[in-house]
Amino acid sequence: MAPRGDTQLAEVWCEALAGKDTPAIRALLDETSQLHMPGRSGLDGDYQGGEAILGLLGRMAVLTDGTLQFSRSEVLTANDATIVMCGRVSATRRGKRFDAATVHVLTLEHGAIREAWVFHQNQDQVDDFWTA
């Protein structure tokens, strides 16, 4: 299992996303942090550094008029450097409602998120939502 601190760091990440707590999110990231977003929506790609990752989250919030919501269900597995969590993401955009299961894979190092991979239950649905 992950050291208690790493599991707590992942919990803080989830709570910060759910609470739209920008300072808390920023505190978990540094210039080497990476977020990998799959898909073909225009939001897909690799985001390097805290400012780029916060920029993506901000763009998503604007595109959904602030309706973007993250929720964590549970930690699926954890070891000394990697945590896998499932949760949900939902939003409304241009009259369309989106609600899907997600999996976050976090690689942690020295009290920061080194890499975050996001996987969605239905990537085509995600892409359609963001390109609509």
pLDDT in tens, 5-22: 577 887 888 888 888 899
Q: Beta strand pairing status for 96-109 and 112-120?
A: antiparallel
CA 115/CA 35 separation, integer angstroms: 6
Instruction: Give the domain extent around 43.
Output: 4-131
Q: Which long-range contacts (CB under 8 A, 24 or more apart) does 94-100 make?
A: 94/132, 96/129, 96/132, 98/125, 98/126, 98/129, 100/125, 100/126
What 3-state class would DSSP assign to 74? strand
Residue 2 has a pLDDT of: 39
Higher-pLDDT residue of 88, 2: 88
Count of the separate structural domains present in the chain:
1
Q: Indicate which CATH number applies to the domain containing 116.
A: 3.10.450.50
Q: Hunting for tokens 């604007």 — which residue is that?
A: 62
Q: What is the mean pLDDT of residues 106-110?
A: 89
